[in-house]
Chains A and B, each alone.
Chain A
Amino acid sequence: MSDSAPKEGQPLPSSQPSQKSMSKAERRELQERQRATKAAQKQQQQNQAASSSKSKGQSTPQKKTDFGRPRSSSSAVPKDAAKDASGALDSEGPKTRGLRIFSHFGLPKTLGHQLKGDIHPAIIRLGLQFSEFKICGANARCIATLTAFKSVIQDYTTPPQNTLSRHLMTYLSPQISHLVAARPMSVTMGNAIRQLKLEISGSDIDLPEQDAKDQLCSQIDHYIQERIIYADSVIEELAMNKIKDGDVILTYARSSLVEKILIRAHAEKKRFSVIVLDSRPLLEGKTLLRTLTSTTPPIPCTYALLPALPSLIKEVSTVLVGAHSLHTNGAVYSRAGTAMVAMLAKEHSVPVMVCCETYKFSESVMLDAFGKNELAPLKFSPSETPKPHSNLEVLDPLYDCTPPTCITAVVTEVGLIPPTSISSIPLALGKTNL
C-alpha cells in the first residue's frame, strides 16, 4: 500500500529538505513540530492511559498540506507525528505497541467526493462498485477496469498540440488514482494497466486519432481474451484432468476460476462432491454454493465454516483454491484463510492446487501477510460486533500469504508447475509479456 506521507515535517533527518529552501515561517513550523514530537515521546514513556475518546481518522494521508491537525489537549498527543502515513486513528493518545503495529493496515477509506479533475463517469461508477464490494475478486476487478478504460479511451479526444501516445497516459492517471482511492489496486489491475501503458506509448504517432483509439481498444480486448478468458479454459482443462470420479474436492471461499473448473468437470460427467469452506468477513462461499447447486443434476455439496476443517480434511482428496496473486518466491497471496486450509491439508498429505493465470504474477517477494494487506470495511461486521473504542479495535484483514511449502502445484495456462519454479515463468514467457 502506498503511504502518501506528507512531504514536509517528517522528523527524519534523511528526508528533510534543506533549510534554505523553506521560508522562515515553514522553518518555524518545522521546529515546533519537532519539539512537540520530542515532548510527545517523553510523555508517552510516562503514561499509557488513553483517556481521550477516539476520533475517527478523518485526517487521511491525502491532506498533504494540511498540518493544522488539532493539538488540543496534552493527553491527545499525536505521537504518531512520525507515523502520519498510517492515516488511521491519529490524535488518539499514546497507544500500546499492539495497537501501533497494525496501524499500517490503514482503515478502508471512504470514497472522498473531492474529484480532482474530470473523472469519467464510467470510472466513478466503477469506483463506487469497488468500494461497495459489488465487484469482488481479482479477475472481475481487472476485467471491469479494462472495460471501463475502453469507454474512457473512446470518449477521449486529444487536445491540440499533443500526441495521443503522450497525453493519454497523463489523462488516465487521475482516473487510476480514483480507483485506487476506492480500494487498493490489485496485482491484476496493476499488471493490466502496465500493459496498457506500454501499448499506449507504443502506438503509432501517424495514425489518425480514431484509428489509434480503436487499436488500443482492440488490444485491450485481446489482452482480456488471451490472458484471462483463454487462459481460464486451458486451466480448466488441466485441472479437470486431476479430478477423478469419486473425488472429494475442498475449496475455500469463492474463486471464479475454481468455480469454472468445477462446473466444467461436472459437465464432463465426472462424479465428485465438493466441500465449500467459508469464513467471515465476506462469506463468499455461499455464492459459490448457489452456483454449484444450480447445475443439473446438482453437484453434491457440503458447507462448513473454517473452524470445522480438521473434522472434514480426512475425507478430502484434493484442495483447489484460487489466488489473488503469485509472487516470485512461490508465495500465494489470496483470501484470508487460504493459508490455514493449505497448511492443514499439507499436514494430512492432501495435495493443494492453486489455480492462477499467468497475468497474476507479481515480481515482488512476499514473506508474510503483513507487508501488504487490506481491511474489510465495517459494513461487513454484523451488528453483534462490539463497537470499537479506545481499547478495542476490530480488524478484518481480507488477504493472507500462503508459504510455498504448503502448496503442491500451481495450475497455470502454461502447465502445472511447482511453486518454486514460479520465478522462471516470466522468463519463459518472454519478459515483455508480464
Chain B
Amino acid sequence: MASDPQMIASQRVVEDLASRLRRRQVVGSRQSALETLLVLRQVVSRARFSNVEQLVELIRSVGRRLVDAQPKEHSVGNTVRKVLHHIREEYRTATEGTAPTPAVTFSIAKFVSQGQPRRHMAAPRSDATSVPLKENDPDDPDSFARTLKPVLMEAIQDVFDELETVYDNISKNAKDHIHSDEIILTLGKSRTVESFLKAAAHHRNYTVIVAETAPSYGGREMAKSLSSAGISTFLVPDSSIYALMSRVNKVILGAHAILANGGMFAISGSLLTATAARAYSTPVVVCAGQFKLTPLWNLYHEYGALDFGDPSAVLGFEEGDLVDKVDVVNPHYDYVQPELLATFITNYGDHPPSSIYRLLKETYDDEDNEL
C-alpha cells in the first residue's frame, strides 16, 4: 500500500502538518483544529479501504502521528476523535438502513434495568437497505469506499462548519449573560471572549476590565480591540486583579482545553483570577468552543499542560548580569479546578462543569480516548 501514490500524497500532507505543529508554526486551538481537519479530509478522500475498521485504523494512525508531534495542542486530538465519531455514526446509519432505529421510549423501569439507552445495542438490519454496502468484496475492493466516501465528506464538512461558526454560536446568547452596567473582568486575548463581549455590546452598556496577563501581554490588544468596538474598557496590570475584584460582577475567561473532570487549561493567570473571584463569590464564566473538549484528566501535574514559554520574556538579556545567576519560570498555562468555575458557554449551549463528562460521552467514542 505504501507504493500507492495516493497514500504517499496523504502521508506527505500529514508529515507537513506534523512538522508545522512541532515547530509551533501552527498555534492556537482553533487554528490547529482547522488544519487537522483539512489534513483529515485529504486523507479520507484519498484513502482506500474495504471495511470500516481499516478506515478507522488509518485515521487513528494519522491522529497518533499528529498528537505525538504536539501533545500540548489538545484540539488536534479532539478533531481526530470527532471525525472518528462521525465516521462510525455514518457507517452505522448506512448499514442499519435508511429507516432509523425505532425510537426508544424512555421509561424509568427500562432505565433501571438496562441503564442508559445506547444506540450500539440496536441490531443492524442488513437486509432492505437501499444502498447495499459490500464489505470486503474480493471482486470490487473499492465499492465500499466509493459508497461511503460522499457521506463521510459531508460529515467532515459538518465539522468544518461547526468550527467556522464557533464564534457566532457562542455569541448568540451573549446578551442574556451580561446585564446593563455590569463590570466584567477578563484576561489576556481570547477571540472567543472578544466576540462574545462585542456581541453583547450591541444590546447592553457595560464596562470591561482587562488584565494585561504578563508576560504575553495579550490584554493590551484585547483592550484596544474592545474599546474600538465602543465598550468602555480599563486596562490594568495583573497585580491589581484582587484589588478590583470587589467591584467586578462577573469574570469571563477563555480556555485552551476543557478537561474531562470539568476543569480547564487556560492562560497563566486564570487560576489566580478564579481564586480571587471565589474569595468575593463572583461567578467565573468560561467561553469555549466544543472542539476544546478533551477526554483528559490532570491529576498529577501542577504546571498546567507542562508548557513553558520563553524565559527572556520574563527576564530578558538586558539584565545581563542576572541571567546566569537566576532561574526563570514562565509557565504558559494554568490548570483551573472545576470547583472554581460556574459555567461553560459553548457553541452548543451552556453547561456546568459537572456535566462535562456527559458532553464528552456524546461527542466522542470511548474507544478513541486513547488514540
Q: Do A and B bind each other?
A: yes
Per-position contact with B for A278-306: 1 when CB-CB < 8 Å, else 0? 01110000100110010000101111111
Whether A368 sits at the interface, judged by CB under 8 Å, is: yes
- Which residues of A are found within 8 Å of B269, using beta-carbon distances? 306-307
- Which residues of A are found within 8 Å of B275, using beta-carbon distances? 340, 343-344, 347
Q: A289-B326, A392-B227 are in contact. Are A307 and B240 (CB under 8 A)?
A: no
Q: A316: shortest Cβ distance to chain B, in Å? A: 12
Whether B239 sits at the interface, judged by CB under 8 Å, is: yes
Q: A302-B329, A303-B314, A340-B242 are in contact. Are A96 and B272 (CB under 8 A)?
A: no
- Cβ A335 vs Cβ B268 within 8 A: no
Contact of B326 among A293, A309, A369 (CB under 8 A): A293
Name the CB-closest residue of B to A386.
B224
In terms of DSSP, what is the predominant structure of the interface of chain A? mixed
- Cβ A279 vs Cβ B235 within 8 A: no
- Cβ B325 vs Cβ A343 within 8 A: no
- Which residues of B are found within 8 Å of A280, using beta-carbon distances? 212, 214, 237-239
Contact of A310 among B232, B233, B271 (CB under 8 A): B271
- Which residues of B are found within 8 Å of A392, using beta-carbon distances? 223-224, 227, 232-235
The CA-CA distance from A91 to B208 in the complex, in Å, is 22
Whether B241 sits at the interface, judged by CB under 8 Å, is: yes
The CA-CA distance from A304 to B246 in the complex, in Å, is 26
Whether B319 sits at the interface, judged by CB under 8 Å, is: yes
The CA-CA distance from A293 to B325 in the complex, in Å, is 7
Contact of A385 among B206, B220, B233 (CB under 8 A): B220
Q: Most chain-B Cβ atoms within 10 A of its Cβ — which of A279, A310, A343, A393?
A: A310
Which stretch of A162-170, A208-216, A356-364, A394-402 is in the interface?
A394-402
Which stretch of A98-106, A237-245, A254-262, A410-418 is in the interface?
A98-106
- Cβ A391 vs Cβ B230 within 8 A: yes
Contact of B240 among A97, A312, A386, A397 (CB under 8 A): A397
The CA-CA distance from A97 to B247 in the complex, in Å, is 12
- Which residues of A are found within 8 Å of B315, using beta-carbon distances? 286, 303
Contact of B217 among A97, A290, A384 (CB under 8 A): A384
Name the CB-closest residue of A to B241.
A340
- Cβ A303 vs Cβ B326 within 8 A: yes
Whether A48 sits at the interface, judged by CB under 8 Å, is: yes
Whether B9 sits at the interface, judged by CB under 8 Å, is: no
- Which residues A39-80 have CB closer than 8 A to chain B? 48
- Which residues of A are found within 8 Å of B326, using beta-carbon distances? 289, 293, 301-303
Per-position contact with B for A360-393: 1 when CB-CB < 8 Å, else 0? 0000000011100100000000001110010111
- Cβ B302 vs Cβ A311 within 8 A: yes
Q: Most chain-A Cβ atoms within 10 A of its Cβ — which of B207, B235, B237, B329?
A: B237
- Which residues of A are found within 8 Å of B234, using beta-carbon distances? 98-99, 102, 392-395
Whether A308 sits at the interface, judged by CB under 8 Å, is: yes
Tally of B interface residues using CB under 8 Å: 57
Whether A339 sits at the interface, judged by CB under 8 Å, is: yes
The CA-CA distance from A312 to B330 in the complex, in Å, is 10
- Which residues B187-223 have CB closer than 8 A to chain A? 205-208, 212-215, 217, 220, 223
Whether A137 sits at the interface, judged by CB under 8 Å, is: no
Q: A312-B329, A386-B227 are in contact. Are A368 and B232 (CB under 8 A)?
A: no
The CA-CA distance from A389 to B315 in the complex, in Å, is 31
Name the CB-closest residue of A to B213.
A307
The CA-CA distance from A370 to B242 in the complex, in Å, is 11
The interface of chain B, by Cβ under 8 A from chain A, is 181, 183, 205-208, 212-215, 217, 220, 223-224, 227-228, 230-244, 246-247, 268-269, 271-272, 275-276, 279, 302-304, 314-315, 319, 321-322, 325-331, 334-335
Cβ contacts A to B, 7 pairs, < 8 Å: A97-B207, A290-B321, A306-B214, A308-B331, A340-B275, A343-B275, A393-B234
